[in-house]
C-alpha cells in the first residue's frame, strides 16, 4: 500500500507542476470583414509555435486559407475560431479569403 501511495503522490506532484513548466504560446488576432483582412500583415516570431484567433466580423461567410501553410478555416458571419501553427522559418506566408479572392489577401510574416 505504501508503494501505491508514493506512486500516486508522484503522479499528483507531476500533474501540479506541469502547467508551471508549460510555455504559453503567443496569440495573434485576425479579423475578416467581407473581403478585408484586419490587419493584412500579421507579424509572428520565427521558430516559435503560435495561435491565430480568426474572427469573421462581416455579413458574409469567410474562409482563412493558406496553401503554403496548409491551413484553412471556414467561418460564418459573426463566427470566431483559431488555428495553431507550428514554428515557421523566417519568411512571408500568403493567406486569402476564398470567398473574396480579389480583395481578401494577407500575409503572415515570420521574423
Q: How many CB atoms sit inside 10 A of residue 93's CB?
A: 19
At residue 23, the pLDDT reads 72
Please give, one letter per residue, the 3-state secondary structure of 53-96. EEEECCCCCEEEEECCCCEEEEECCCCEEEEEECCCCCEEEEEE
Per residue of the chain (111 residues), what is the pLDDT tens digit?
Answer: 566 565 555 555 555 544 545 679 999 999 999 999 999 999 999 999 999 999 999 999 999 999 999 999 999 999 999 999 999 999 999 999 999 988 999 999 999
Amino acid at each position: 500500500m505504501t508503494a501505491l501511495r508514493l506512486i500516486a503522490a508522484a503522479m499528483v506532484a507531476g500533474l501540479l507542476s506541469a502547467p508551471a513548466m508549460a510555455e504559453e504560446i503567443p496569440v495573434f488576432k485576425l479579423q475578416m470583414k467581407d473581403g478585408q483582412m484586419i490587419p493584412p500583415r500579421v507579424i509572428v516570431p520565427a521558430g516559435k509555435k503560435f495561435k491565430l484567433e480568426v474572427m469573421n466580423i462581416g455579413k458574409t461567410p469567410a474562409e482563412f486559407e493558406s496553401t503554403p501553410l496548409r491551413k484553412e478555416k471556414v467561418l460564418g458571419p459573426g463566427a470566431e475560431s483559431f488555428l495553431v501553427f507550428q514554428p515557421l522559418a523566417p519568411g512571408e506566408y500568403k493567406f486569402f479569403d476564398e470567398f473574396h479572392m480579389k480583395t481578401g489577401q494577407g500575409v503572415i510574416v515570420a521574423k
